[in-house]
Structure 1
Amino acid sequence: MAIHLELGRNGEDIAKQYLEQKGYKIMQQNWVYGRAEIDLIAFYEEKIIFVEVKTRRKTDHGEPEDFVDWKKEKQLALASSVYIERRKHQGEIRFDIIAIVYENKDLYKINHIEDAFWPD
């Protein structure tokens, strides 16, 4: 597996464990619709939470969350609307970002940004 893919997979696993420890129920990991992938889909406080996980080794070129651009938001919005329709979810939803930055091989920092964006 390519190093960047392994880094991303590790980040998703860390984010999943982090959310579970906070009481979130993970419904799906790496849910795909078309060309869009939702890293984590969780249920918390009667809401479905769609989570984009960004993992980096350095922040020389910006924080991980800075790399969730309008194109990614649009893809997530499309995929989430299909997911909601298929689940027949009538309640609220939210889009979060979990940004993970490794300080060294075993030490990392997590930044959980709730309600990070709302796609048009």
Structure 2
Amino acid sequence: MAAKDDLGRAGEERAARYLTAAGYDILDRNWRCPQGELDIVALGGRVLVFVEVKTRRSMAYGHPLEAVDVRKRRRLWKLAHAWMAQHPDMAHGRSLRVDVIGITGADPFSATLEHLVDVV
């Protein structure tokens, strides 16, 4: 798997800062397993939140949130369950949620950030 580009890394950093400022605890970042990678795993109260971050310089290739289609959402849920299997202490008794954060703009640290909560 190719290393993430600077734009993607900067977008994930912005998303993590945003989540922390919103009261989430970041539990994991760029967690990998044979099935793929989770960008951010966070805890919001009693809810485990698995966050996919999509960063784009512009909307020339579509809105970043559009990149998370049904197939990608299914994969994110599988990855969430794989993460929970490796972290049973954190998963016990908690609700689960998959969110998507889209960041659009030339500079990820000042770009527009949109947080889509609970994509099914």
Task: Report TM bin, short chain.
Answer: 0.7 to 0.9
1:72 matched to 2:75? The reply is no
Shift of 1:38: 0.5
Q: Shift of residue 83 of structure 1?
A: 1.2
Q: Write the distance in 2 (CA, Å) between the matches of 1:29 and 1:14.
A: 12
Deviation of residue 61 (structure 1)? 2.5
TM-score (norm 1): 0.87
| Alpha-carbon distance, 1:46 to partner | 0.5
> Which of 78, 99, 102 is matched with 2:102 structurally?
99
Which residue is 1:43 aligned to? Answer: 43
Letter in 2 for 1:98: I
What's the C-alpha RMSD, in Å, of the aligned pairs? 1.7
1:21 aligns with 2:24: no
SS in 2 for 1:95: strand
SS in 1 for 2:23: coil
In 2, Cα distance between the equivalents of 1:27 and 1:39? 11
| Worse overlay, 12-21 or 55-64 | 55-64
Larger mean Cα displacement after TM superposition, 4-13 or 20-29: 4-13
Using the size of structure 2 for normalisation, the TM-score is 0.87
Amino acid of the residue matched to residue 45 of structure 2?
Answer: E
Shift in Å at residue 86 of structure 1? Answer: 2.3
Aligned residue number for residue 12 of structure 2: 12
Query: CA–CA distance in 1 between the matches of 2:104 and 2:18?
Result: 14
Unaligned runs of 5+ in 1: none
How far apart are 1:79 and its partner, in Å?
A: 1.3
CA distance in 1, matches of 2:33, 2:73: 14
- In structure 2, the CA distance between the partners of 1:47 and 1:98, relative to structure 1 (3 Å rule), is same
1:4-61 superposed Cα distances (whole Å, 9 cap, x missing partner): 7110000000000000001100000001111411000000110100000000001123
